Amino acid sequence: MTRAALRHSIAINSEARSGGPILKDKTFLFVNYEGFRQSLHQTSAAFVPDLASRAKAVPSVVPLLNLWPTPSASDPDFNGIAEVFSSPLQTIREDFGTARLDHVISNQDSVTAAYTIDDGGDVTATVADPFSSDILNLREQVLSLEENHAASTFANTIRFGFSRAGYFFTGGPTPGTPAASVPGFLAGRQVGAVVVGGSAASNPQAQLGLAGSNNGSNLHIARNLFTCRSRRGRSSCFPTDSMQFRLSAPAGIARCWW
């Protein structure tokens, strides 16, 4: 890796948190944020069409040659294929946040709400072809609500939870390179992966569309009843009854048990 690439490789971590009472002896709120940013230059040795191959290309192929870096006359040449060394950029972003609210309703009842989100993504120029990038986005969210009721002889807990995750992966021309201006095979779309001579592409499905995505949600509801006993100043509780319900989507699987 060149010294210039090392100078421009940056990783930044940031975080902030705060908490305190909203209503004295009643309501308490806590929030937390953590962020990560990274710009990292990788080491790439790409095999691309050499200058002689580019000069012999037919007009219909010439625009597609912009999908690979143009070699210089001094780059290693292997009879039609040249080897180009570079330091393509990888950018990573992640944001994580959580919030929790606790509220005392009475001496016997209290509620808690918590929310967590983790959102991230990266754009990675592939080392085999720095003009082609893998693009990944991921978001996960969890929400939970809980109500507690405590009496002298029993305790009851009701919990509601909802989680959702989304994963999206595709590939495309690296932004800021000549490949980004190559017209796609579909009108108004960027060009997808181009496989030449039996070689492999990291996103072969992207020739006609997106490489893939995956999204799902889960709903979980639970109720637990405990019997409590006090003896010699000590209290102990034992579970006596419970009920749970769970629903998963997009699979649409529901489970319920007592």
- The tokens for 76 are 């290693």
Residue 171: the pLDDT is 80
Name the residue among 110, 122, 120, 124 with its Cα closest to residue 141.
Answer: 120
Region of 177 (left: φ > 0; alpha: ψ -120 to 50; beta: rest) is beta
Residue 237: the pLDDT is 65
Give a yes or no: residue 102 inside a domain: yes
Residue 193: the pLDDT is 60
Give a yes or no: residue 116 inside a domain: yes
Residues in the chain: 258
**Average pLDDT of 219-227?**
71
Name the residue among 196, 38, 211, 195 with its Cα closest to residue 135.
Answer: 211
Residue 141: the pLDDT is 92
Give a yes or no: residue 172 inside a domain: yes
25 vs 154, higher pLDDT: 25
d(CA 83, CA 89): 19
Residue 38: the pLDDT is 92
Give a yes or no: residue 73 inside a domain: no
Residue 119: the pLDDT is 95
Give a yes or no: residue 237 inside a domain: yes
Residue 113: the pLDDT is 95
Residue 182: the pLDDT is 85
Residue 205: phi, psi to the nearest 5?
Answer: -70, -15
- Is residue 19 very low, low, confident or very high in pLDDT (cuts 50, 70, 90)? very high
Please, what sign has the CA dihedral across residues 68, 73, 78, 80?
Answer: positive
d(CA 52, CA 95): 47
Task: Tell whether pTM > 0.85.
Answer: no
Residue 97: the pLDDT is 96
Residue 257, burial from CB neighbour count under 10 angstroms (0-12, 13-18, 19+): exposed
Give a yes or no: residue 48 inside a domain: no
Give a yes or no: residue 71 inside a domain: no
Counted domains in the chain: 1
Region of 22 (left: φ > 0; alpha: ψ -120 to 50; beta: rest) is alpha
Please, what sign has the CA dihedral across residues 196, 197, 202, 206?
Answer: positive
Give a yes or no: residue 128 inside a domain: yes
Segment 38-66, tens digit of pLDDT: 998 888 888 889 999 899 989 888 888 88
Domain carrying residue 138: 3-43+87-257
The DSSP annotation for 172-237 comes to EEPTTSGGGGSBPSSTTSB------TT---S-GGGGTS--EEEEEEEEEEEEEEEEEEEETTEEEE
Half-sphere exposure of 52 (CA within 13 A, CB side): 8
The residue type found at 167 is: Y
